[in-house]
Chain A
Amino acid sequence: MDKPIRVLVAKPGLDGHDRGAKVVARALRDAGMEVIYTGLRQTPEQIVAAAIQEDVDVVAMSILSGAHNHLFPKVVNLLREQGVDDVLIIGGGVIPEDDIPGLKAAGIEEIFTPGTRTKDIIEFIKSHLKR
């Protein structure tokens, strides 16, 4: 078997809505990826520690609480502080259009908003891996 892509699916912040994250996790699994699912209410520090120990290729985060402008960049920065620069970071959730350019500038490579087809997420991951 060839090397499966490893993805950490994480929910930072305090909202309890994980249906979107679970749908994405399932779709990535069906696309042959190994999905490490960490569950609700993760701190950025926990996400980064898990990403390092699991040696993932991708960190995919979902937020529906509105705290994305704070939490997404925090994860990117903590990873960089640890010297991790070969992990693809993507985000999703109810994110206003106006916030997206700022998040991309902060190092979140793509933001997927409600209505995105899972096929597009899979394609994006496969074509943007960093290693």
Chain B
Amino acid sequence: MNLEERLLNGDKRACARLITMIENDEQEAIEIVKKLYKHTGRAYIIGITGPPGSGKSTLTDKLTKELRRRGKKVGIIAIDPTSPFTGGAILGDRIRMNDLALDPGVFMRSMGTRGSLGGLSRATQGAIRVLDLYGADYIFIETVGVGQSEIDIVKTADTVLMVMVPNLGDDIQAIKAGIMEIADVFAVNKSDLDGADKTVVEIEMTLDLNEKKDYRPPVVQVIANKNKDVDILLDKVIEHKNYLESSGELKKRRSRNIKLEILKLVQEELMGIILSKTKQGSYIEQLSESVSSREIDPYTAKDKIIDLMED
């Protein structure tokens, strides 16, 4: 059997190898995804995001087990940061999910960001397609620990689950733009800590200020490491899924995301063309020198590069 048939048969090794090939930009993998693309879109994508140490991995582990109890097949992509200096990474999300490894209905993969800045890895979208074809009913995407503006997850997930913890900051943090705006469901994890109620109230007050819509993100208190109320949280995620499906919003959300993905692919390809037209960037180096010695300005340098594209 070839790679493609093995993937469609739910073979974990084939699935793993294809994700590697996608991460490494191998044309063969892209051809397989192209060929099978019409069969994708079946899996439901849940993004799990939140600050470092908020318990995203532990919560993903527990939500996965709950979905398994409900008979669903689950894929997980967990992302940790790649060092911008060495290109290396420590991917540690498996530590909290070790006993999922042996479950035949779960496929879990760790990825480094590899230069991507929005909280996901560059190949996330491709890896989702592979897991979809592998047969996952639900796919969790666990982002890197986010600060305030890593919001690429909203361009990728169907439901965004924001994991908060008590005592992270005053309530003005909650009304800043950015990560607070993208959540469809809020989990206040470690809710046995003091201040959990206050965190819930702050989130609710922020939501009160939002424009009134058909759907209001629920806020659920959980204690992930004790598996407390994780089932209730999952129900809220499923309610959001049902809302998106029945209101037609899911279709809208996905087509918006596809448009963004196409633009990103075009952008990457154009950067590649620019690099090859500028002798792998050495002409850009040269221009940068001229700009830093004030011989020319950055706008003129940009025009010179754009001129090359017209040849």
Name A residues whose Cβ lies closer than 8 Å to a Cβ of B. Answer: 1, 3-4, 6, 25-26, 28-39, 42, 45-46, 49-50, 52-55, 82-84
Contacts and interface: CB of A to CB of B under 8 A. Distances in A.
Q: Which 8 A-B pairs have the closest CB atoms?
A: A29-B88, A39-B95, A55-B16, A49-B101, A32-B87, A55-B20, A32-B88, A3-B24
Main secondary structure of the interface of B (DSSP, over half): mixed
Contact of B102 (A37, A49, A55): A49
Contacts of B13: 52, 55, 82-84
Contacts, number: 86
A55 B92 contact: no
21 contacts: A4-B87, A4-B88, A6-B20, A29-B83, A29-B86, A29-B88, A29-B89, A30-B83, A30-B86, A32-B88, A34-B91, A34-B112, A35-B89, A35-B91, A37-B91, A49-B101, A50-B94, A50-B98, A52-B13, A53-B109, A54-B16
A42 B99 CA distance: 9
Contacts of A4: 87-89, 112, 114
Contact of B90 (A26, A31, A83): A26
B16 A52 contact: yes
Given A30-B88, A35-B90, A39-B94, 19 more contacts: A1-B115, A3-B23, A26-B90, A29-B86, A31-B88, A32-B86, A32-B88, A34-B91, A35-B91, A36-B94, A37-B95, A38-B98, A39-B95, A46-B99, A46-B102, A49-B101, A54-B16, A54-B109, A84-B13
A84 B83 CA distance: 29
Interface string B84-123: 0011111110110011011000011110101100000000
A46 B101 CA distance: 6
B12 interface: yes
Contacts of A54: 16, 94, 109-110
B58 to A, nearest CB: 13
Interface string B152-183: 00000000000000000000000000000000
Given A53-B109, A54-B16, A34 B89 contact: yes
Given A46-B98, A50-B101, A53-B101, A25 B16 contact: no
A53 B12 contact: yes
Interface of B: 12-13, 15-17, 19-20, 23-24, 82-83, 86-92, 94-95, 98-99, 101-102, 107-110, 112, 114-115
A29 B114 CA distance: 13
A69 to B, nearest CB: 24
Nearest to A57: B20
B98 A25 contact: no
B19 to A, nearest CB: 7
Nearest to A3: B24
Contacts of A33: 88
A53 to B, nearest CB: 5
A38 B16 contact: no
Nearest to B23: A3
A32 B110 CA distance: 16
Contacts of A53: 12, 15-16, 101, 107-109
A34 B92 contact: no
A21 to B, nearest CB: 11
Nearest to A40: B95
Contacts of A26: 90
B102 A45 contact: yes
Contact of B95 (A34, A38, A55): A38
Nearest to A42: B98
Contacts of A55: 13, 16-17, 19-20
Contacts of A39: 92, 94-95, 98
